[in-house]
């Protein structure tokens, strides 16, 4: 490809090349806009997702403030609906998914011994499209008069149930923003999913067989497959909703004979794989952390991997457990009840594997480990309450109560968010060369842990006492008051812990304790290179001989079965790890990495124009389409790597 456009360059082509080379040299904004380095894209993903985490958190705090006592009027019902819709949509699509994508980006190439992902520009396209979708979705807040309390954001729930979400029942443009915003985010997720599957299958270092891959890489692979098969299903549902709302189509209109359950089936056929898209990356992260801080290999690696794969397959056969009360009949409910109970088995297997890893280990309770253990404990509670609503009769009682809210926050906050924070504490030294402050980390953990349980455990109680989800107020006398008060106190406690984390992060980036290449005495390849990693990652592509390759370079067993450092190997590891910077630079001279590109950003910018055009003014559609076409053609025609004259 690089040779095609080379011979005669037009002035335009030369200007583009100069811009790309300028971006490569730049250390400021220009570089970030055009970067195709997986590490920088990972940082962009992480920072953006964290900002969305704060907005979603503020939405939750507003709701908890409203619910602190009976009959309060901080928010009216309309505002509450819009906040609860945006809270759910934000946390799923703008926080947990992109935060996981941040870790895919940061870690996968380093863990498999590659210099970047398979398609660096497609990777940049994923990020910018995600950001465009996220901003588009949140811009909906401002489409009405926000200063007089009129929010314009979607108000049909993150699940967007049609026919309720049709124009007849949900007027205004909120749900248009929802349908089109999720469509844009879906494009971003799909592009990322393809990219990481190809990267993991094709870019592994020599000797890195599939069963030598770190578990995090395995979980990324399974998640990516779930993404590429689940996202098209929701894309179709969203297209159908968009056609119904904007062009009066009849996909979900019961008065035209449409089936009112079609949306629910499609949404949950996507939605249940989606919950594993949310949790498997966190499972991968803690499967990296627990062995390192137990100083033991992961107990039963093949079981962890195969149960991850089994979860991936089985996640397609359980969606009706979201729909027991819709009246599909006893046969359907029983069949899906059984499959739902079964999917708890591979999940339970993993929990025993993590416990087996801890068992007999030499455990260090550092901050990443605290979050990893927290994940296992909290996810187990959420998993158990999940099993309770796999039982159809029990679920009839729990459907649409706060018990369900308690359940999915235990798995998605207690599981995914705790795990992702563990990942931040664990890999922060790799990307900054500094530790996050350990004391503040423990304070963050304990306050968040207490706040989390204070918020969500009482919801089991209020739910079993019959408090419905999504109501914006309630009267006293039902016995819900105390539990709601506790939940609200807990929510603000969580907010406090996040504030502590932000302080810790900002302070540690500049002044944290210095960390070397391998500060945790870890097991996988990313720790064999300097912290922060050079832009080319590996001066020499490593040769892999074993699972936990880096550990085996550092340690071996003596005749009595004791683990002892490998003297010769240690020298080699230290040399690679701690630089011999001149040595690395010497090798690095021959490494040609792809040149930054602006075209992914240009193509991504087109999507919000098309979406806004569909809602407000068709004249914007050609503008967006032009950006997309210019972006894609420019991308296809430019050489991946520019030659410097």
Partner 1 sequence: MAVGTGHLETSTGLDNRKLLMWLFLGSECLFFGSFIAAYLLYRGRSTVGPYPEDLVDIPFTSVSAFVLLMSSVSMVLALAAIQRGNVRNLQIWLVTTAILGLAFIGGQAYEFTEFYHEGLRIDTNLYGTTFFVLTGFHGAHVTIGVLILLSLFTWSLRGGIQQKDSLNVELAGLYWHFVDIVWIVIFTLVYLVQPQ
Binding site for partner 1 (CB under 8 A): 1, 4-5, 114-120, 190, 193-195, 197-198, 201-204, 208, 228-233, 235-237, 239-240, 243, 247-251, 256-259, 262, 266, 541, 591-594, 633, 636, 640-641
| Under 8 Å between Cβ of 554 and 568 | no
CA distance linking residue 360 with residue 558, whole number of Å: 20
Question: What's the min distance (Å) between Cβ of 592 and partner 1?
Answer: 5
- Cβ atoms < 10 Å from Cβ of 501: 22
Bond before 259 cis per omega within 30 degrees: no
| Under 8 Å between Cβ of 37 and 591 | no
Instruction: Choose between 237 and 436: whose C-beta lies nearer to partner 1.
Output: 237
Look-up: residue for tokens 């990777």?
123
Angstrom CA distances, 22 to 15, 501, 595, 596, 642, stand at 10, 36, 10, 9, 11
| Under 8 Å between Cβ of 521 and 369 | no
**Taking the mean position of all CA atoms in its chain, how far away is CA 74?**
32
Instruction: Choose between 51 and 236: whose C-beta lies nearer to partner 1.
Output: 236
Contacts of 103 (CB under 8 A, 6+ apart): 42, 46, 216, 281, 285, 420, 423, 427
And the tokens for 306? 């195969």
Instruction: Choose between 112 and 370: whose C-beta lies nearer to partner 1.
Output: 112
The torsion defined by the Cα of 466, 470, 476 and 481, in degrees rounded to 10, comes to 80
Task: Tell me 644's DSSP state.
Answer: P
CA distance linking residue 183 with residue 506, whole number of Å: 34
CA distance linking residue 254 with residue 260, whole number of Å: 6
Question: What's the min distance (Å) between Cβ of 221 and partner 1?
Answer: 12
Instruction: Choose between 236 and 546: whose C-beta lies nearer to partner 1.
Output: 236
| Under 8 Å between Cβ of 383 and 344 | yes
CA end-to-end span of the chain: 18
| Under 8 Å between Cβ of 415 and 376 | no
Closest CA to 380 of 258, 283, 295: 283
| Under 8 Å between Cβ of 595 and 116 | no
Look-up: residue for tokens 């950001």?
131
Instruction: Choose between 31 and 399: whose C-beta lies nearer to partner 1.
Output: 31
Quote the Cα angle for 258-264-265, to 5°. 90
Question: What's the min distance (Å) between Cβ of 4 and partner 1?
Answer: 5
Instruction: Choose between 238 and 495: whose C-beta lies nearer to partner 1.
Output: 238
CA distance linking residue 127 with residue 196, whole number of Å: 13
User: Which residues partner with 514 through β-bridges?
Assistant: 434
- Cβ atoms < 10 Å from Cβ of 171: 11
CA distance linking residue 108 with residue 115, whole number of Å: 10
- Cβ atoms < 10 Å from Cβ of 440: 17
Please provide residue 149's backbone torsions phi and psi, each rounded to the nearest 5 degrees: 90, 5
| Under 8 Å between Cβ of 85 and 79 | no
Question: What's the min distance (Å) between Cβ of 247 and partner 1?
Answer: 6
Question: What's the min distance (Å) between Cβ of 24 and partner 1?
Answer: 13
CA distance linking residue 511 with residue 506, whole number of Å: 9
User: Which residues partner with 555 through β-bridges?
Assistant: 565
CA-based radius of gyration for the chain: 25
Angstrom CA distances, 103 to 323, 523, 579, stand at 33, 17, 24
């Amino acid at each position: 490809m690089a040779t095609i456009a080379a011979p005669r360059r037009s002035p335009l082509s030369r200007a583009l090349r100069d811009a790309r080379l300028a971006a490569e040299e730049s250390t400021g904004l220009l570089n970030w806009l055009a970067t195709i380095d997986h590490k920088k894209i990972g940082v962009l993903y992480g920072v953006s997702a964290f900002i969305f985490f704060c907005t979603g958190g503020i939405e939750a705090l507003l709701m908890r403030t409203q619910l602190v006592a009976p009959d309060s009027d901080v928010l009216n019902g309309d505002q509450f609906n819009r906040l609860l819709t945006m809270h759910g949509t934000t946390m799923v699509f703008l926080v947990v998914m992109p935060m996981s994508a941040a870790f895919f980006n940061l870690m996968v190439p380093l863990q498999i011994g590659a210099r970047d992902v398979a398609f660096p520009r497609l990777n940049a396209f994923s990020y910018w499209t995600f950001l465009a979708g996220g901003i588009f979705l949140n811009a909906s807040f401002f489409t009405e008069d926000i200063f007089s309390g009129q929010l314009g954001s979607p108000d049909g729930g993150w699940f967007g149930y049609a026919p309720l979400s049709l124009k007849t029942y949900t007027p205004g443009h909120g749900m248009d923003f929802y349908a089109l915003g999720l469509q844009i985010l879906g494009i971003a997720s799909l592009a990322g999913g393809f990219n990481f599957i190809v990267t993991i299958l094709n870019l592994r270092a020599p000797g890195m067989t599939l069963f030598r891959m770190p578990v995090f890489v395995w979980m990324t692979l399974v998640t990516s497959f779930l993404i590429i098969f689940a996202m098209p299903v929701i894309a179709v549902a969203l297209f159908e909703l968009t056609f119904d709302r904007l062009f009066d189509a009849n996909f979900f209109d019961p008065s035209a004979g449409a089936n009112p359950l079609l949306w629910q089936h499609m949404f949950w056929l996507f939605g249940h794989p989606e919950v594993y898209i949310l949790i498997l990356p966190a499972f991968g992260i803690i499967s990296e952390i627990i062995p390192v801080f137990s100083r033991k290999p992961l107990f039963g690696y093949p079981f962890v991997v195969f149960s991850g794969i089994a979860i991936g397959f089985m996640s397609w056969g359980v969606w009706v457990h979201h729909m027991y009360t819709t009246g599909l009949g006893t046969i359907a409910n029983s069949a899906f009840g059984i499959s739902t109970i079964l999917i708890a088995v591979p999940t339970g297997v993993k929990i025993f594997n993590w416990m087996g890893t801890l068992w007999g280990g030499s455990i260090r309770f550092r901050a990443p480990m605290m979050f990893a253990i927290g994940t296992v404990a909290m996810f187990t509670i959420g998993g158990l309450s999940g099993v309770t609503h796999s039982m159809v009769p029990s679920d009839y009682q729990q459907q649409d109560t706060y018990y369900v809210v308690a359940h999915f926050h235990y798995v998605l906050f207690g599981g995914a968010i705790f795990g992702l924070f563990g990942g931040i504490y664990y890999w922060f030294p790799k990307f900054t060369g500094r530790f996050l402050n350990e004391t503040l980390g423990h304070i963050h953990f304990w306050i968040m842990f207490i706040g989390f349980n204070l918020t969500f455990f009482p919801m089991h109680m209020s739910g079993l006492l019959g408090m419905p989800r999504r109501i914006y107020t309630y009267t006293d006398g039902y016995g819900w008051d105390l539990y709601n008060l506790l939940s609200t106190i807990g929510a603000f406690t969580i907010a406090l812990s996040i504030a502590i984390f932000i302080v810790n992060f900002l302070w540690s980036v500049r002044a944290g304790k210095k960390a070397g290449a391998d500060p945790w005495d870890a097991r996988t390849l990313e720790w064999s290179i300097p912290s922060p990693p050079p832009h080319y990652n590996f001066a020499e592509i490593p040769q892999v001989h074993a699972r936990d390759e880096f550990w085996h370079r550092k340690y071996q067993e003596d005749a009595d079965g004791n683990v002892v450092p490998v003297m010769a190997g240690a020298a080699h590891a230290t040399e690679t790890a701690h630089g011999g910077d001149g040595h690395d630079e010497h090798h690095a001279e021959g490494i040609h990495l792809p040149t930054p590109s602006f075209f992914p950003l240009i193509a991504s910018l087109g999507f919000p124009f098309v979406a806004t055009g569909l809602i407000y003014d068709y004249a914007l559609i050609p503008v967006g389409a032009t950006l997309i076409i210019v972006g894609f053609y420019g991308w296809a025609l430019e050489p991946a790597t520019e030659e410097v004259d």
